[in-house]
A and B are shown apart, each in its own frame.
Chain A
């Protein structure tokens, strides 16, 4: 990282990035004029964007079914479920990710015969990569086709790529943790498992927890998006309102998501500061 950003390599790196961006744009035949919508398009865009300034406080539909909850309660419930799905998926991802991270890390194999780590780590790391190479939305679509989408399969669809991402980052955190205390425990007669668990893990724990909370924000966004394939998170109602042309309601849901992510960020950053 540092070598990559050294003074001498900065200019070629920047140039390379720019050139790559231009090349990609040319290959995709990106045309700035595509942003110029037709008259009807402008009207629609205006309607949609206009909603941003006056989000709906009540249903926009002319008739609302008897006994329907008020809009704000519906939004609150959806936001709550969005958070719950995210927490459930992240927890499951972390539980699956920790053992994968340990097996795939360098630090856990310290003190073991070298060939053993070389034997175990590559397949584990390949498995981690496989887990995170498929996006949660694709998992959800797959599950939808195979089992029909239930809340459980939605959590699984989210948890699988998160297990892959968390295990990769957890492994990196473990390997960046100073080895002094792990070595010291080996020197005073601890076995390899004790040296890792009591010498290295406590030291890495604040960073592991901190990163997990950092990821909660992403999980909330992903959980909201999964609403588009049918689970009852913010995305579901956002899509329904959109399809009914209730653009002011769309903005109400978007603002709810924004507020949720903002509050989570506030909470998790205080928490992370305290973990330091």
Chain B
């Protein structure tokens, strides 16, 4: 396992189990992700990828086992510490979570809400301070969208929205990025561009990157480490080169798939 034995791992899951009603979403999951690592979570729908991501920033609490993120035990910290932790972990949800009728710059500004007062954030959104606006312009340049800074988000294409979500994540100045199916709604060429961009900016910033992704080809092409989930269990963890035909088949084989029902 590359890098996973780094002295200061970014994320550690130990014996983690999560249940929703009668469904076991995760069973006995153990996983260590080193600082600066880039990990793709792959597996069929309902295998627990999103659940795992949501554990890492405490949007979800484990029923069993422990989750450590950036050195904090997520399940036990108080609300304030949890918010501070979330401010250091950028989470890009599958639906992106942008405010469609606000401009790009206003949406990116929201990335720092965790460190601002309500009134301060409100004032910034009405009248973005010049230095912030310049910083955001630079970020948008990095993600390839500088000319759209004052456009309303609902006028943008799916790929452009994803870039805004990425810019918001970067503006957050995080230690790690969690992205839930960042390219699921994009065509293959744009999806490829965006995954490449995601890895580049993570590498540049020394950020830990954990992404769920259902396009196996992109996971294998771009990520040094791929974690395969099926029925709430980790069935593969290693470099793409170790994921042979047999493993791929068993990962996605419907006849073998355990749906996670109790």
Chain A interface residues toward B at CB < 8 A: 180-181, 183-191, 193-195, 197-199, 202-203, 205-206
Let me know if A188 and B118 touch, CB within 8 A: no
Query: For residue A202, which residues in chain B have a CB less than 8 angstroms away from its CB?
Result: 99, 101-102
Interface size on B, residues (CB 8 A): 32
Contact of B27 with A by CB under 8 A: no
Q: Which residues of B contact A (CB under 8 A)?
A: 57, 59, 83-88, 90-91, 93, 95-102, 110-111, 113-116, 118, 121-122, 125, 168-169, 172
Question: Closest Cβ of chain B: how far from A199's Cβ, in Å?
Answer: 6
B214 to A: closest C-beta gap in Å: 20
Cβ–Cβ contact A180 & B93, under 8 A:
yes
Cα distance A184–B90 in the bound complex, in angstroms: 10
The chain A residue sitting closest to B116, CB to CB, is A194
Contact of A190 with B114 in the complex, beta carbons under 8 Å? yes
A180 CA to B111 CA, complexed, in Å: 14
Pairwise interchain contact A198-B115, C-beta atoms closer than 8 A: no
CB pair B113–A198 under 8 Å, yes or no, is yes
Q: A189-B84, A189-B87, A194-B118 are in contact. Are A199 and B96 (CB under 8 A)?
A: no
- Complex: how many Å from CA A198 to CA B90? 17
Partner of A190, one of B85, B113, B125: B113
User: In the complex the two chains form, what is the Cα distance from A255 to B100 in whole Å?
Assistant: 42
* Structural contact, A187 and B101, CB atoms closer than 8 A: no
The interface residues of chain A lying within 8 Å CB-to-CB of B169 are 188
Q: Which of A188, A199, A206 contacts B111 (CB 8 A)?
A: A188
Chain A nearest Cβ from B210, distance in angstroms: 14
Do B172 and A203 touch (CB < 8 A)? no
A187: which B residues are within 8 A, CB to CB?
57, 59, 86, 91, 93, 97
Instruction: Kindly identify which residue among B97, B110, B118 contacts A193, using a CB–CB cutoff of 8 Å.
Output: B118
